[in-house]
Each structure stands twice: as C-alpha cells, then as structure tokens.
C-alpha cells in the first residue's frame, strides 16, 4: 500500500462545524482543532450536536461507513424535554415517519441517570417546571438531523445530542475538543466491520 492512511477520532464540541472550510470569520470549524491535512469527516455532526467524529483520508472506507446499505451502528446520548413514556419509546424503537420516510428500527433505552458529560457551553435552555430525561439511542442509518426529528415526532424534543460511539469506536478517555489517532487494533476492527 503506497498511500499512508490516517484515521482520527475527535470529540467535537458544540458549535463546531464538521468541515475544515470557514464560511464566516467567527464560525468554529475542524481547522481550529485538527492540524492534520487532507482528512475528512466520515458522516457529519451538526454544529449543535457534540461527540465522536471519525476522520480519514481513506475514501473507500469512508464511503462504506457512510453507505446506509451497510448499517453501521451509531450511538447517541440524547437529552429530551419531559420524560418519554413507554409508548413513545416503543415508537422510536420500531421506527417513526419523518419527512415521508420511515426510520429503521433502533435500540432505545431511557437512562436512569444523567450520563457523565462535561457541561455544554452554552448550556441548554432550562425551564424549571419542565423535567428532562436522557435516552441512549443506537441507529444504523444517518439521515439529516434524524435523532432530533425522531424525538420531536413522538413529542419529546431534543435539547442536547452527543454521539458516543461509531461502530466499535467510543469516546472513552477523549476530552472535549481533543483528537487522537486510532490504534492499529481499532483500524483492524474498523476494516473487519466493513464488507
């Protein structure tokens, strides 16, 4: 293999665009955190979402990981407004209709406590008399703003969204705004999980 492939995990903060180019001078992008040239995000996280982002210069792997046919798992911690009931959780698990599209079945569970995350800056809007809850959602597809649209469709709008896992890769010890290269074992696992 003549080309040196690079694989990077990044803990994207809130407000950072998942791109290196800057549309406006004040917009934070990946170039503010990652100095490695010619690597590109595998999929996206919206500016208002946080968490794990995989970047690589391996185009073939990038295409396979993004293609819905291969159904790679992505896990999110999702803070929602109010406490979802069993009916809402069942709908999310079975699939909901968003923009004339039925989502694939998902793994969804109500977390018993708030996950260990750094405070978001700026914090979410807080309403004293409206409780919030945290869900763990694992999807095998990545439509535009899918998690937010799914929770809104069952009546529980998303307040905060953090991706914690892509396939076998996890946030683990990464701190907010930090990046690291994948280990040789992680690269091997990633390739073995893509046909």
CB atoms within 10 A of CB 18: 19
Told to judge if 48 belongs to the known catalytic residues of this protein, a careful annotator would answer: no
Question: Of 113, 167, 152, nearest to 135 (Cα)?
Answer: 113
List phi, psi (to 5°) of 139: -115, 160
Active-site residue among 23, 46, 48, 172? 46
Q: Is the peptide bond before 122 cis (omega within 30 degrees of 0)?
A: yes
Give the Å distances, CA to CA, from 52 to 85, 90, 138, 170, 175: 28, 26, 14, 7, 10
Residues with a known catalytic role:
46
């Amino acid at each position: 293999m003549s080309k040196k492939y690079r694989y990077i995990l990044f803990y994207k903060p809130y407000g950072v665009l998942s791109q290196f180019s800057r549309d406006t001078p004040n917009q934070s992008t990946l170039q503010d955190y990652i100095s490695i040239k010619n690597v590109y995000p595998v999929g996206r996280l919206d500016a208002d979402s946080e968490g794990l982002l995989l970047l690589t210069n391996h185009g073939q792997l990038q295409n396979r990981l993004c293609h819905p046919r291969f159904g790679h798992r992505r896990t999110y911690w999702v803070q929602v407004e109010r406490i979802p009931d069993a009916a809402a959780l069942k709908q999310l698990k079975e699939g909901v209709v968003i923009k004339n599209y039925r989502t694939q079945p998902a793994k969804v569970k109500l977390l018993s406590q708030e996950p260990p995350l750094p405070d978001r800056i700026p914090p979410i809007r807080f309403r004293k008399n409206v409780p919030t809850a945290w869900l763990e959602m694992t999807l095998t597809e990545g439509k535009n703003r899918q998690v937010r649209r799914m929770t809104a469709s069952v009546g529980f709008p998303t307040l905060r969204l953090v991706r914690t896992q892509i396939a076998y890769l996890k946030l683990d010890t990464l701190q907010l705004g930090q990046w690291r290269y994948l280990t040789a074992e992680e690269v091997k696992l990633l390739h073995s999980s893509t046909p």
